[in-house]
A = this chain, B = another copy of it.
Amino acid sequence: MRDVSIIGIGQTPVGEHWERSLRHLAYDAVKAAMGDAGVERADALYVGNMLSGEISGQSHLGPLIADFAGLRGIEAVKVEGACGSGAAAVRMGYLAVASGLQDIVICAAVEKMTDDVGNRLTSGLAQAADADYELIHGISFVALNALLMQRYMYEYDVSHEDFAGFAINAHANAVGNPNAMFRRAITLEAFTKAGMIADPINLLDSSPMADGAAAVILCPAPQAREFTDNGVRIAGSAMATDSLSIHDRHDPMWLQAAQDSAERAYRQAGVGPDDIDLFELHDAFSIMSALSLEATGFAARGKGWQLAANGDIRPDGRIPVCTMGGLKARGHPVGATGIYQIVEAAQQLRGEAGDCQILNARLAMAQNIGGSGATIVTHILERE
C-alpha cells in the first residue's frame, strides 16, 4: 500500500444555512479544500452523508456533487454509516489512494438538516438504530442514549453534574472557532438547569442538529510536498463495527468498535494513547464522550467522566478534547461531522487553529461514531 497525506482542507461554517442548499454547501467545502490544496482536478470523490434522502428527497450524491463542483465524469459515490458517514468517506478515499489506483481524491461530507419539509428528521436519525428490534418500540435516538447514560450513572455511581465538564469544555473551545455554531461559553449552573430532553439527557448534554459541509483532499504521501509544505500524514485509519441494537451487545457500557478501531489505528501508527496530543471525539451526547475516552485507552472503565471533571480534557490538560468545540458547540451536521473532526485535527497539526491552537500538536486522533456505537471510524493524523 501507499502512504496517504491530506493536502487540502475545507469547511463551511456550521449552522442554519437557509440560503444554501445541500449541493451548494458541498460545493463550498469542496472548492475551499481544492483551493487550499491548489488542485483544479481530482480522480475521485467519496461523499459522506446520512439524511439527504429523508430530508431533501435526494439520493445519488456522488455524481451530483462531483458535477456541481465542476468535476463531471470522475468516480464519485456516496458512503453511509449513519453519523459515522463522514469519516467512512475518508476511509474509502484512503483505500483508493493507498491502492495506487487513484492519486488525487476528494473526501467530502455534507448534511442539510434544516428545510425538513416532511418533518422526517427524528425518524431519519432513528434509522441509525435497529428498525426491527429498537425503533419498533417507538424509541428515538436521544432516548437510546438516555438509556445508556442512565445505566452508566447507576453502574458507576456518577451524577448528572459529573458530566458537566464535557459541555463546558466544548463551549469554551468553540468561542475561538469562527466556524462553530455556538460561540459562547456556558457555566456549570447553565448545564445543571438546562431543559430536560430525555432523562437524564438535557439540552446541554446534546449536540445541536445543523447544516454544514467539510472536505479533505488526499494524495500519496510522497507527492504531498509538491502541493503543500503543510501536509498531514494519515498515520492510522481504521473502521470497526458492532451490533446496531444496544441490547445485543455483550456489554452495553463498552464501545467495542471504539476499542477495536482505535487499537488498529494505534498499531498502524505505532503509537499509543499517551502519544496523542489532541482527540476530536464524538460528543453527540455527554455519555458518548465518557464511553469513547474509556474504550480508546484514555481512562479506565467507568472513569471517563473524571477527565472532564478534573480538567484533563481542556486545551492545557493531559488530553485536549473537542478543541474546536466538538459536536456539542461546533455543531453536529450528522453525516458531515466525521470530516469536520478530521479538518479540525488537521488545522491543529498545521498550526492554523487560531485561538483554539494546541501548542506543539504533532499527533491528533479523530473518532467518528455512527449509531449508538455500531460504526466507529478512527483516524490518527501526524504533522509532516
- Residues of chain A touching chain B, judged by Cβ–Cβ distance below 8 Å, are 1, 21, 23, 50, 53-54, 56-64, 66-67, 72-82, 88, 91-92, 95-96, 98-102, 123-124, 126-132, 135, 238-244, 248, 256-257, 260, 370-371, 374-375
Contact = CB atoms under 8 A, between A and B. Distances in A.
Contacts of A239: 75-77
- How many copies of the shown chain assemble into the complex? 2
Nearest to A74: B241
A237 to B, nearest CB: 8
Nearest to A249: B72
Nearest to A243: B67
A59 B127 contact: yes
A153 B59 CA distance: 30
28 contacts: A1-B100, A23-B132, A50-B59, A57-B123, A57-B126, A57-B131, A58-B132, A59-B127, A60-B82, A60-B127, A60-B374, A62-B80, A62-B375, A63-B81, A63-B243, A63-B257, A64-B244, A66-B241, A67-B243, A67-B244, A72-B242, A73-B241, A73-B260, A75-B240, A77-B88, A95-B96, A95-B102, A96-B99
Contact of A375 (B60, B81, B248): B60
Among A54, A60, A98, A99, the most chain B Cβ lie within 10 Å of the Cβ of A60
A339 to B, nearest CB: 15
A42 to B, nearest CB: 12
A59 B130 CA distance: 9
B54 A53 contact: yes
Contact of A92 (B95, B129, B257): B95
